[in-house]
Amino acid sequence: MKNFKKRADLQQYIAGLRAGGAVITFVPTMGALHRGHLSLIEQAKVLGDIVVCSIFVNPTQFNDPKDLEIYPRPILDDIQKLEAVGCDILFNPEVSEMYAGNEKWHLDIGELEGLLEGKFRPGHYQGVTQVVFKLFNVVKPDIALFGQKDYQQVLVIKRMIDLLSLPVKIEMCPISREEDGLAMSSRNIHLTPRDRQHALILSKTLNKVNQHFDPEKIDELKQLAEADITAEPGVALAYFEIADGDTLLPANKNTKSIVALVAAMVGKTRLIDNVIIR
C-alpha cells in the first residue's frame, strides 16, 4: 500500500493512475478501523480499480474538544488492517496539511443542519462537508463510499454533491454489527463491560420497532422505544426518531421511505444507530 501525507504527492500519483483509465474509489475515515470500515474498503474494491482510504481525525467536525482529544488513533494497527484487506493507497495527512488556519466554511444544507445529529452536535455537518469537500478535491474519486451507520451524514454529503455539482457517485454501505447486534464504532473501545451490555438496548429497540412497524402506529412505536431506552440503566437517550428516509423529518403513515434513528450516551460514550424500515 502506498502511504501519502502530502496532498500534492497524492494528487500527482492519482493523476497518473487516472490517466491510465483507472476507476478511483474512496473511503474517508477517521481511523481506529474496525470491520465496518473494512467492509467499505472491500466494497470499494468491487466497484473500482484503485481504492484510496483516508485517515484524518478532522478537528472541525468535533463540537466537544474532549471527544476530539480522546478519539483513538492506532495508526500502525490501521495500516496493517488496510494492507490485509488490499487497500491501494492511504492518505494520512496532518491537520496543518488540510487546514491553512482561520478558514471560513458554510454550506446551506437546509433542514438537515438542525435535525437529529445536527441539533445535538451544532456545526458538526459544516465540519463534515468542509473536510469531505477538501478530500474530494484532492482524491477526485469516481465513487465515494460511506456507511449507513452515519445515515444523516450520507444525506448531507449527497446534498453537498447536488449543491456544488461534484462529479462523484455516492455508495451507501450497510451497517456492520457485532454478533450481539451492537453497531461497530471506533468509540466502542471507550465502553466499559457494563456499558457494553447496556448499549445493546439501542439495536434491540431498533429491531423491535422494525419488526412491529405499523404506519398507523408511528407515534405509539416511538413512545414505546423512548420508554424502553430510557428505562435502561446507564443510558441517556438523546433522540429516537422514526423519520422520512429522504428528509429526516418525522414520518407519517404516508411516508414512502422510512428509517428509525437513535442516539444516546452510554456511560460516557455517545453512540448512534439506525435501521432502514422501508
The site for ligand AMP (CB under 6 A) is made up of 29-30, 36-37, 39-40, 146-147, 149-150, 173, 175-176, 183-186
Least distance (Å) between residue 187 CB and ligand AMP? 8
C-alpha cell at 102: 482561520
Among candidate residues 137, 138, 108, the one with its CA nearest the CA of residue 125: 108
CA distance 221 to 239: 14
Indicate the residue among 218 and 245 with the shorter CB distance to ligand AMP.
245
C-beta of 56: minimal distance to ligand AMP in Å? 9
Give bridge partners of residue 3 from the DSSP assignment. Answer: 90
- If the CB atoms of residues 115 and 182 are measured against ligand AMP, the closer one turns out to be 182
C-alpha cell at 116: 437529529
- Shortest distance (Å) from residue 146 CB to ligand AMP: 4
Rounded-to-5 percentages of helix, strand, coil across the chain = 45, 20, 30
* Collapsed DSSP state (helix, strand, coil) of residue 2: strand
Question: Which are the catalytic amino acids?
Answer: 37
For ligand AMP, give the closer residue by CB, 203 or 205. 203
The identity of residue 183, as a single letter, is A
Which whole-number Å values give the CA distances from 157 to 102, 139, 162, 171, 271, in the listed order? 23, 16, 9, 11, 21
**Taking the CA atoms of the chain, what radius of gyration do you get in angstroms?**
19
Return d(Cα 270, Cα 91) in angstroms, integer: 27
Q: How many CB atoms neighbour CB 178 within 10 A?
A: 16
CB 207, min distance to ligand AMP, A: 15
Residue with smaller CB distance to ligand AMP, 90 or 221:
90
Residue placing its CB nearer to ligand AMP in the complex, 175 or 264: 175
Shortest CB 261 distance to ligand AMP, Å: 13
Helices 35-47, 75-85: crossing angle, 10 deg rounding:
40
Edge-first strand listing for the sheet containing 269-276: 235-244, 258-266, 269-276
123 vs 215, which CB is nearer to ligand AMP?
A: 123
**What phi and psi values does residue 82 have, to the nearest 5 degrees?**
-65, -40
